[in-house]
Amino acid sequence: MAQANTSPAQTYKQRVRWYEEHGEMTTSDAQGAVNAEIIQGKFKPVFDPHYPLDSLPPFKTTTSTAHTAGPWRSTYSEPLGYGVEAVDGIQAIALIHTNGIHAAEANARLIAAAPELLEVCKLMETCLSERVRTMDEQKAFQFARIVISKAEGNA
């Protein structure tokens, strides 16, 4: 594998393109390599306002944790109702019991997003730890730490 360019001012798209050109990788493999660098704290992309966020690849959780690895998805089946399962369809995560079908569906979607939300909190914590300047950034940094501790059972 090619040694990644260590230029501090690259967007996500530029980093992927670099891997495609120098690492002779497919776009999917290059995106995976960049995602791994972000999770490991080796690369912090510069925000590109012209690069739509919905064009980023699906995010797979890679952090080693005690919970079932993500991604998860919400499901519906009769007569059980709404639930959450691992995307591989093998492991059930939760069965939602609540009054109201709309609340059950919303709760299932929120729970299904949990692994990705935890990863995002960890990435935000890493990014903010090096550049907290404003009161809002300080609040976001502290909140991310609290949520990560709670999710990992340390709160």
- Render pLDDT for 55-93 as a digit per residue (tens, 0 to 9): 445 545 445 567 787 788 888 887 778 888 888 777 888
Is the pLDDT reported for residue 144 higher than 60? yes
pLDDT at 47: 61
Q: Averaged over 122-134, what is the pLDDT?
A: 75
Is the pLDDT reported for residue 113 higher than 60? yes
- The contacts found for 81-86 with CB under 8 angstroms, 24 or more apart, are 82/107, 82/108, 83/108, 84/108, 84/111, 84/112
- What mean pLDDT, rounded, does the chain reach? 75
Closest-CA residue to 96 (of 119, 114, 77) = 77
- Tens digit of each residue's pLDDT (9 = 90 or more) over 42-51: 777 766 555 5
Whole-number Å distance between alpha carbons of 27 and 21: 10
Is the pLDDT reported for residue 3 higher than 70? no
pLDDT at 102: 84
Residue 79 CA, distance from chain mean position: 32
Strands 72-77 and 81-86: antiparallel
pLDDT at 54: 47
Q: Averaged over 96-110, what is the pLDDT?
A: 84
Whole-number Å distance between alpha carbons of 108 and 97: 10
